[in-house]
Amino acid sequence: MDCMEALRYHIWLCNNYKFSQWWTMLWFPLVWSLLLMRNEVVFDKKESSVVQLLHSIKIRSWL
């Protein structure tokens, strides 16, 4: 998926009422969790884990 395709998908999700609330609720926890995991991998030399990432997104979306 290239950047333009991702942007079009993001805009579609925001304009589609069924998904807009869901997407708005998950957007920030998703991006924040990805950024923190990237920082751990780059700066702390930790291993990345999809399970840990999904868990972090779930926890942050509930807060």
pLDDT tens for residues 29-61? 999 999 999 999 999 999 999 999 999 999 998
pLDDT for the residue numbered 52 = 94
Which token pair is 30?
A: 């998703």
Compare 60 and 24 and report the one with higher pLDDT: 60
Write down the pTM of the prediction: 0.68
Which residues, at least 6 apart from 34, have a Cβ–Cβ distance to it below 8 Å? 53
Compare 21 and 39 and report the one with higher pLDDT: 39
Q: What share of the chain is helix, strand, coil (3-state, %, to 5)?
A: 85, 0, 15
Give the C-alpha separation, 12 to 60, whole Å.
24
Span 7-15, average pLDDT: 78
Compare 22 and 38 and report the one with higher pLDDT: 38
Give the C-alpha separation, 38 to 10, whole Å.
21
Domain ranges within the chain, ordered by starting residue: 24-63
